[in-house]
Structure 1
């Protein structure tokens, strides 16, 4: 079904993280792998660009006129380089102008055309170069030989570089100042190749997510005593035997080994990691028996046991994890009985129980968690009666009640949640009457009503929610009259009205006043190409979805080229 809403939100997006490289065509992320200052010349009314900004813009526009940037101060050359990358104007020919410019940061992640021929100019930055991102490039093992000249390099990102193997790793083994190294999604790195990491004694962060050949290679990390963060997510080759070398990494604060073959026995090797504060065991073969070992970790504040083999039997040790701030027990077999052991975790700020066998009786154990800010209860047996136990959680900012038994009566029990900002009600039992109870939640910024029985009259209650930034109403019951009420929500940045088959071009006319919109989805409606003219004022729009409408990609591209300069993702495409 084109343009369908995301029912389980972020949890359905496979292990994505901010700035992560995705080689598929779907635009899940709009930023590079490393963050860097991005210049923007789309100024607000009355604003004047600085002289420096104008100079950078002009040099970037006329880059073909300059043979070398080396006569400019380094910070100016750096900004010109960044602007060329941002505007996608940097080519191999233009890159030559930056030879010997002593640049410090080269963020080329996901940039088209980067290959070994670029590496000579990159290496010419010499000892000045501090960070390089080549994610998704065609750089090969040979290309890495050039990095030997950059002995002060601190951060190197080579995610999804399909042409880099064990052979290339030896060329970075001498970069002993490296503090951050990332090789996500590399099928060629093996345990033998990881021996090249043993000399990187300054490493603080190592990312090997989705590297399926590293089993047995963690032994080479034993000497990296400064290592604080290790990401081995989705390395399904990792077993209990790989856990023993990690016991030597006493400065480790963050460890991610989700979707591996680690069992309760493997977790016992972590007992000596007294500084470990974040542990991700999602999808591992651990049971409730691992909680005894985890209780030995005094600094543990974030624990992810989603999709593990947990049940309520043996969960007593949960009560000993008194420093936990974030606990994910989603998609396990725990019941209300387990929540009795969560009752004493008074420091909890986030609790995820989606797809668990918990209900109204279990929520009584959460009434004392006064610091709780986020509560995920989607796909549970929770109903309207159980929400009375949450009415005193004045710190609660986000609650997900999608696919529960909560109805209109239950929403009245949420009126006391004065800090609530995000509410997900992807529920079949919510009607216009339920929305009336939400008018007091003036702090709401995100509201998801997928599947709810909302009509035009129901949207009238939304007009009081002036702080809403994100709104999804994908029920199929709206017409243009309902969208007329939405046009008053001037703070909206994300709007999803897909699956409302009666919406016409008139709805786009109402939406045209929401100039802060970044994302708009009106798929499966009666909108046509003629209505696209109403979107011209939406200069901030970056994502537009109009699948199963009488609109073509050519129509959208024309609008993009003439009126929507920031639009980077659209469907149909």
Structure 2
């Protein structure tokens, strides 16, 4: 929200100096001097530890005194833009302060998910005229009427209207003249139908189109068949999309990214994509496909990303993967594939991410991964992999993320990971992992995410956590941790997410111990002995956004009081 200016230019650009004849250098300099605070220790600095610039100080002062300013139209555009961005970022923009930006020739107005955005705001938006290049009004109450005002902004290039329930086919009609649009997004806009998509026919410069979760667009893709500049199309979770729709886009030869997850597209639909030789990103997750589609997919020589999760793919035809030499990301999770498939992946040396979640992969299959030295992420959850298979991973020195949850890996196997010091994320959700297993990985000091949900870790085992000073996310659920074990967590100052649920012996003392973890944004201590009295210890956690204390001796009323009085950023509270 309130992103930086899309086009960098000198603050005192000549065009801005004389825009509408309302600006003079002396006038602006005087304004800056008058608004500059002499000494203000409360000025917000985006990067802690850095001295604020003169512009930072000015913008912060304007934000504090926003009610004193009725118009910023006499300022250079870039300064007005910085002030606007700051008000959005600090949630200080409202109907009154917005009026000050009328006729400011702003280029970017990104108020997606900002509360209270409605048709009245669109009058100020449209006053930016030909200067406006980017607009995000996602999750707003803007209607067709408000969207019609964008006719005054013919230069707009990027428009996001995601989750805008009040915009219908009629509203789309107002966009047909915005021929400079290169990026358009209407995620989960259920009022939009195939007929409304006729408005896209004239958007000849469109490069990116996002219609994710638009459930009434079946038959509408025919209206974009001539948008030859289109490079990215997202129609994920549009369960109305069929093979006939895919045929409509078969002539979009510049298409590089296509997302069709959870649609009704079959092998027959995939054959319509044969001519799209530039495809580099293909997401087909959850489509009713078979291994027959691999023959067509193998012809996409530029393919870098391929998601076939939950597609019904089997070992048959898996030799087609060997043709995808540029592939970096491959997701084959929840398919009926085995070690046979892995044989055809061993020469894909550019692979960086592999997902075999819930596949029939065994220790022997992992032998085929030994040469994939670029591999950074490996998902082996719920597979047949055990301790012996980890021997084949010991040389993957670039591995950063490894998921071994629900496998037969034990404490002894984890010792084989000790040399993989690049690992940052490790998931060990398994009852077979104990304190000894945690001790075996203490050499992985770069860990930022550690998931031990379900592992049998005791208070003694938590002593090993002192080696993981960089941890940002920690899950220690379902173990036998008490307040004594939490003492070994209280010094992990980098933590932003902490899940201690299902540890039934934790008391209010736990909340006292972690009260110094002021970076926490998410905390879960469900199914414990926490009471209302312990809630006072959470007051220092000003960054907390999510708090879950289900099945504890706390009341929704007391948690609400805590939220209103001390935790301004708390958005999700359980119990409510």
TM-score relative to the length of structure 1: 0.89
- Note the C-alpha offset of 1:544: 2.8
Contact kept? 1:272, 1:297, Cα under 8 Å: no
The yes-or-no answer on 1:510 pairing with 2:513 is yes
Instruction: Provide the residue aligned with 1:76 in structure 2.
Output: 79
Instruction: Provide the residue aligned with 1:495 in structure 2.
Output: 498
- Note the C-alpha offset of 1:295: 1.2
Contact kept? 1:520, 1:543, Cα under 8 Å: yes
1:392 to 392, 395, 400: 395
- Note the C-alpha offset of 1:470: 1.4
Instruction: Provide the residue aligned with 2:252 in structure 1.
Output: 249
Instruction: Provide the residue aligned with 2:466 in structure 1.
Output: 463
Contact kept? 1:345, 1:369, Cα under 8 Å: yes
**Structure 1 CA distance for aligned equivalents of residues 264 and 371 of structure 2:** 36
The yes-or-no answer on 1:185 pairing with 2:185 is no
- Note the C-alpha offset of 1:458: 0.9
Contact kept? 2:301, 2:323, Cα under 8 Å: no
CA gap 1:212/1:46 in 2 versus in 1, 3 angstroms: closer
2:218 to 207, 215, 219: 215
**Structure 2 CA distance for aligned equivalents of residues 465 and 68 of structure 1:** 51
The yes-or-no answer on 1:98 pairing with 2:101 is yes
Instruction: Provide the residue aligned with 1:87 in structure 2.
Output: 90
The yes-or-no answer on 1:112 pairing with 2:120 is no
Instruction: Provide the residue aligned with 1:259 in structure 2.
Output: 262
1:234 to 231, 234, 237: 237
Instruction: Provide the residue aligned with 2:427 in structure 1.
Output: 424
CA gap 1:571/1:53 in 2 versus in 1, 3 angstroms: farther
Q: Secondary structure at the match of 1:439?
A: coil
**Structure 1 CA distance for aligned equivalents of residues 124 and 446 of structure 2:** 51
Structure 2's unaligned 5+ residue stretches are 6-41
Contact kept? 1:227, 1:252, Cα under 8 Å: yes
Q: Secondary structure at the match of 1:418?
A: coil
**Structure 1 CA distance for aligned equivalents of residues 200 and 46 of structure 2:** 46
- Note the C-alpha offset of 1:243: 1.8
- Note the C-alpha offset of 1:339: 1.4
CA gap 1:554/1:80 in 2 versus in 1, 3 angstroms: farther
The yes-or-no answer on 1:411 pairing with 2:410 is no
**Structure 1 CA distance for aligned equivalents of residues 466 and 239 of structure 2:** 49
Structure 1's unaligned 5+ residue stretches are 1-31
Q: Secondary structure at the match of 1:279?
A: strand
CA gap 1:45/1:81 in 2 versus in 1, 3 angstroms: closer
CA gap 1:47/1:544 in 2 versus in 1, 3 angstroms: farther
Instruction: Provide the residue aligned with 1:18 in structure 2.
Output: none
Q: Secondary structure at the match of 1:267?
A: helix
**Structure 1 CA distance for aligned equivalents of residues 320 and 51 of structure 2:** 60
Instruction: Please identify, of 513-522 and 467-476, the stretch whose mean Cα deviation from structure 2 is larger.
Output: 513-522
Instruction: Provide the residue aligned with 1:28 in structure 2.
Output: none
**Structure 1 CA distance for aligned equivalents of residues 76 and 290 of structure 2:** 59
State how 1:288-299 maps to structure 2 within 5 Å: 288-299=291-302
The yes-or-no answer on 1:64 pairing with 2:67 is yes
Instruction: Please identify, of 498-507 and 87-96, the stretch whose mean Cα deviation from structure 2 is larger.
Output: 87-96
CA distances 1:68-120 after superposition (whole Å, capped 9, x unpaired): 22223323322332333333343334322221111111122122222222222
Contact kept? 1:36, 1:107, Cα under 8 Å: no
The yes-or-no answer on 1:527 pairing with 2:526 is no
CA gap 1:275/1:46 in 2 versus in 1, 3 angstroms: closer
Tell which has more relative contact order, 1 or 2 (C-alpha 8 A, sep 6+).
1
Instruction: Provide the residue aligned with 1:334 in structure 2.
Output: 337
**Structure 2 CA distance for aligned equivalents of residues 308 and 378 of structure 1:** 18
**Structure 1 CA distance for aligned equivalents of residues 530 and 295 of structure 2:** 58
The yes-or-no answer on 1:312 pairing with 2:321 is no
CA distances 1:285-316 after superposition (whole Å, capped 9, x unpaired): 21111111111111001100000021112222
Q: Secondary structure at the match of 2:402?
A: strand
1:163 to 163, 166, 188: 166
**Structure 1 CA distance for aligned equivalents of residues 330 and 308 of structure 2:** 8
Q: Secondary structure at the match of 2:80?
A: helix
The yes-or-no answer on 1:437 pairing with 2:440 is yes
Instruction: Please identify, of 340-349 and 323-332, the stretch whose mean Cα deviation from structure 2 is larger.
Output: 340-349
Aligned length: 540
Contact kept? 2:435, 2:460, Cα under 8 Å: yes
- Note the C-alpha offset of 1:485: 1.4
**Structure 1 CA distance for aligned equivalents of residues 49 and 411 of structure 2:** 47
**Structure 2 CA distance for aligned equivalents of residues 418 and 531 of structure 1:** 38
- Note the C-alpha offset of 1:49: 4.0
**Structure 2 CA distance for aligned equivalents of residues 92 and 277 of structure 1:** 44
TM-score relative to the length of structure 2: 0.88
CA gap 1:212/1:559 in 2 versus in 1, 3 angstroms: closer
RMSD across aligned positions (CA): 2.3
Structure exhibiting the larger radius of gyration computed from Cα positions: 2
Instruction: Provide the residue aligned with 2:127 in structure 1.
Output: 124
- Note the C-alpha offset of 1:524: 1.9
**Structure 2 CA distance for aligned equivalents of residues 126 and 63 of structure 1:** 24
Instruction: Provide the residue aligned with 2:449 in structure 1.
Output: 446
**Structure 2 CA distance for aligned equivalents of residues 505 and 99 of structure 1:** 52
- Note the C-alpha offset of 1:401: 0.9
CA gap 1:35/1:499 in 2 versus in 1, 3 angstroms: farther
CA distances 1:46-69 after superposition (whole Å, capped 9, x unpaired): 765444334333333333333322
